[in-house]
Amino acid sequence: MKVFTRPGELRAVDDETVRAVVTRQLRRLQAGVGAAYDPARDGHVLLVEQGDGEGELLAGFGCPLDALLWEGVWREGGCLCAVTLADNQFGRTVVVPDRPGTADDLRRQLRRELGEVP
């Protein structure tokens, strides 16, 4: 799992399509907060990668998947994207490439939120 708080960090994403999605989400987060954006106060973008297991997801979210409340879930550029808030200000935008073997439980949960699976 990768955490993004600044545009310069985006070079760490090899897949151009996924990088474009993460870039748009980071720009949206920063634009929503404005010039005073502070990742420690306002949040960040998480990219879930193939091979990320329960331990990485728990570390990234700070709680088990079934405890997360999704504020919104959508599809973009072959990815599942979602927002979860820790409080009235700090939020995480999550980008999950919709590929088998990439956090299957999380993908299933997000697809359920979209009404795609029972």
Question: What is the SS3 assignment for the chain?
Answer: CEEECCHHHHHHCCCHHHHHHHHHHHHHHHHHHCCCCCHHHHEEEEECCCCCCHHHHHHHHCCCHHHCCEEEEEEECCEEEEEEECCCCCEEEEEEECCCCCCHHHHHHHHHHCCCCC
φ and ψ at 76, to 5 degrees?
-155, 125
Query: pTM for this structure?
Result: 0.91
Tokens of residue 64, six digits: 């088990």
pLDDT at site 22: 96
pLDDT at site 118: 67
118 residues of the chain, pLDDT tens digit each: 999 998 899 999 999 999 999 999 999 988 888 878 888 888 899 999 999 988 898 888 888 888 888 999 999 999 999 999 888 778 899 999 999 999 999 999 999 999 998 6
CA-to-CA distance for 30 and 104, rounded, in angstroms? 29
Residue 73 · residue 82 · CB < 8 Å: yes
Measured CA distances, 28 to 7, 33, 40, 57 (Å): 12, 9, 17, 23
pLDDT at site 79: 97
pLDDT at site 19: 96
